[in-house]
Chains A and B, each alone.
Chain A
Amino acid sequence: MRYLGRYDVLAIAARVLRCDSDDVVRRSNLDAIDRVLDGVRLTGGLAESAGVLLAGLVRARPFGGANRVVAVAVVLQFVTLNRAELQLEPVADVDDLLDRIASGDAGHPEAAAFIRSRLEHHPVTAEDLQEHLKIELLDGLGDLLQDWWRGDPMYEQFSEPARHVIVLAQEEARGLDHVYVGTEHLLLGLITLGQGVASRVLADLGITAPAVRDLVVEIIGRGRSGAAAGTIPFTPRAKSTFEFAWGEARARGAEQVGPEHLLLGVLHDGDGVGGQIITKLAESTDEVRRKLEKHMNWRRRSEDLVAGMLAEDPANTWTTYGRRHHLLAELNAVLEENERLHEQVAALRDLLRRHNIDPDS
């Protein structure tokens, strides 16, 4: 997740209000902005983060008279920076939401739900990924390896969510001012993706983004401010993680490398910073792997069931082609709904933990 900082928000406000930087600093309540941004950093998924940002800015009114338009512009920029787009039309619904937030009748959950319903995610293309994977090898092995890496067809096999994890990992590295992307950033990317089996398993085990970031800072520290400009290279361990994930995907008969395979890669490298952090936050990497494989196997069985039905002789089993496809679509919808519910439960468990309530008590 690419979070906004105080200066990002002020820069957006200055542009919207058409005033200079000094003016916007004079006109804004900086402390209120900081408090809102602190709250956003405690959140996970994009819709939730954007909801906290919007509700926080509308309630705190750090920009005085033109607060609403600036707040909405800030949220638009936040969403776009995270590779999605927010639809404002019909704008009357936005006004209604902002009224309810301002009057205290609605809060960040309502704002998040509204934003979720208006979000369109930009797909991460192979070209985007290629751009993010411009490797500047740290170990100095030269152009030969670099070309081998760039030309590898492996990345064509990365699923859309797996590509998104890599983009998020780069953003996490940038956020910590690190000049490389390591397994710890991949772990953060897997968490902040906020969907799918890998995210769910990590959330179930209480491995949250703030906790991981704290440990990254404790183990490695932050980089020099502004050092992580431009393309950030991957560490050799991160690259090994990709290769391992690719191998796992192929060994399991998957057509594409998914986030769950990337997590298997992070778990495999127990000595990497990502693996060390998982060991600190969970019982062991083996425990996480067991849970992950359990979820993956469950999903796989469901998919096999669907595929099996598809392969059966329609003359014996299904009355018509249309009915067969209708039932398969329904089955898939049930699976998706089940996954969504699992994600909601994981989010609620995380919320309880953040309030020091044991979800299993």
Chain B
Amino acid sequence: MAKDGTKNILLRLDPGLAERLQTVASVEGRSVSDVAREAIAALVDQRRQDAQFSELLEQNLARHEESLRRLRGDD
């Protein structure tokens, strides 16, 4: 566990990208995990703002709401 209570992320990165992340992390005095997590979250945000994707997802969740609710949970 990292000191702020979150776990470090495990992610396969190409060497060039890993090096750039390392640079940013060093400059900003943060861990590579933190910088990577922030970048990934920004890309997830971007995906969530895709109107077509989100609309389809909302329709799907609404249509299957009852079935999803009754699905057995993980142990």
Secondary structure dominating the interface of B: helix
Give the residues in chain A near B44, CB-CB below 8 Å. 7, 10-11, 14, 21, 24-25
Query: Does A67 lie within 8 Å of B74, measured CB to CB?
Result: yes
Of the listed stretches A69-77, A131-139, A188-196, chain B binds A69-77
Interface size on B, residues (CB 8 A): 32
A25 to B34, CA, bound (A): 11
A5 to B53, CA, bound (A): 12
Does B56 sit at the interface, judged by CB under 8 A?
yes
Give which listed residue, B11, B41, B54, B61, contacts A22 with CB less than 8 A: B41
Of the listed stretches A88-96, A244-252, A256-264, A341-349, chain B binds A88-96
The closest CB in chain B to the CB of A94 belongs to B71
B43 CB to nearest chain A CB (Å)? 5
- Using C-beta atoms within 8 Å of the partner chain, give the interface range for chain A: 35 or more
B1-22, CB under 8 A of A: which get 1 and which 0?
0000011011110000000000
A16-33, CB under 8 A of B: which get 1 and which 0?
100011101110011100
Query: Does B9 lie within 8 Å of A80, measured CB to CB?
Result: no
Query: Does B12 lie within 8 Å of A31, measured CB to CB?
Result: yes
Give the residues in chain A near B61, CB-CB below 8 Å. 15-16, 73
**A10-B40, A11-B44 are known contacts. Are A73 and B60 too (CB-CB below 8 A)?**
yes
- Those of A301-329 within 8 Å (CB) of chain B: none
Give the residues in chain B near A72, CB-CB below 8 Å. 68, 71
Give the residues in chain B near A99, CB-CB below 8 Å. 72
A7 to B40, CA, bound (A): 8
Does A296 sit at the interface, judged by CB under 8 A?
no
Does A287 sit at the interface, judged by CB under 8 A?
no
A31 CB to nearest chain B CB (Å)? 4
Does A42 sit at the interface, judged by CB under 8 A?
no
Query: Does B45 lie within 8 Å of A91, measured CB to CB?
Result: no
Does B48 sit at the interface, judged by CB under 8 A?
yes
A111 CB to nearest chain B CB (Å)? 15
Query: Does B74 lie within 8 Å of A68, measured CB to CB?
Result: yes
Query: Does B9 lie within 8 Å of A25, measured CB to CB?
Result: yes
Query: Does B56 lie within 8 Å of A30, measured CB to CB?
Result: no
Does A98 sit at the interface, judged by CB under 8 A?
yes
Does A8 sit at the interface, judged by CB under 8 A?
yes
Give the residues in chain A near B10, CB-CB below 8 Å. 29-31
Interface residues of B (CB under 8 A from A): 6-7, 9-12, 37-38, 40-48, 53-54, 56-57, 59-61, 64, 67-68, 70-74
A and B contact pairs by CB, cutoff 8 A, 7 listed:
A11-B53, A21-B48, A26-B37, A31-B10, A73-B57, A88-B67, A88-B68
